[in-house]
């Protein structure tokens, strides 16, 4: 009888840990990471406090003092017009996409009104999609600009090289270049719009 009670208690404890993330949740193997984020040994999909910021690569913006603006930002109204002027300027940039290099489609160029399908395509190519240059981070992690590779790319000064360690052999040394490639850098207010869009959920 005593042995059976001990067995039941052990089973209940294991079931609770599985359901409620006891002992660190899925930090080392699952997709929803606890405090360690997804850059733990298992490489899940949702970056937490141990994600991109903990690598030491992302130093160009201080998130400890960051407060998003009061205006809710959307991809259609606020962010795509920035992409159109600075990113989607030629097929060599982000007017078209490539699955082998970090060239997500960022919409038609300035002066062309994007269709709803194009807006949806932009979002599908960057939100929740692993960065080729840094596979342990997403291009955009909705709600978390500090763990979004796209945000690091536009925050890093143009004259610099992103020098963090990349687990991707075709990009050594370094992790590619800041964006927009060759400059000019986005103005602070434009960066703030993109940052607030991501923080607000990276909505259409």
Query: How confident is the model over 33-75, as pLDDT tens digits?
Result: 333 333 332 333 333 334 677 777 788 899 999 999 999 999 9
Alpha carbon of residue 56 to chain centroid = 16
Span 77-100, pLDDT tens digits: 999 999 988 875 555 465 555 555
What are the tens digits of pLDDT across the range 179-201?
Answer: 887 778 899 999 999 999 999 99
Q: Is 8 exposed, middle or buried (0-12, 13-18, 19+ CB in 10 A)?
A: exposed
**CA nearest 183: which of 150, 155, 158?**
158
Rg (CA), the chain: 20
């Amino acid at each position: 009888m005593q042995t059976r009670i001990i067995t039941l208690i052990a089973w209940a404890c294991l079931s609770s840990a599985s359901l409620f993330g006891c002992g660190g949740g899925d930090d080392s193997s699952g997709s929803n990471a606890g405090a360690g984020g997804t850059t733990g040994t298992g490489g899940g999909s949702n970056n937490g406090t141990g994600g991109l910021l903990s690598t030491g690569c992302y130093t160009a913006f201080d998130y400890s003092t960051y407060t998003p603006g009061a205006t809710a930002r959307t991809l259609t109204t606020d962010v795509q017009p920035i992409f159109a002027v600075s990113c989607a300027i030629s097929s060599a940039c982000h007017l078209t996409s490539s699955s082998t290099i970090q060239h997500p489609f960022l919409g038609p160029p300035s002066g062309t009104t994007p269709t709803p399908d194009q807006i949806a395509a932009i979002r599908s190519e960057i939100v929740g999609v692993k960065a080729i240059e840094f596979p342990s981070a997403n291009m955009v992690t909705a709600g978390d600009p500090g763990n979004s590779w796209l945000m690091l790319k536009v925050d890093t000064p143009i004259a610099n090289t992103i020098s963090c360690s990349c687990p991707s052999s075709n990009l050594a040394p370094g992790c590619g270049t800041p964006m927009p490639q060759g400059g000019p850098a986005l103005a602070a207010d434009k960066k703030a719009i993109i940052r607030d869009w991501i923080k607000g959920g990276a909505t259409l």
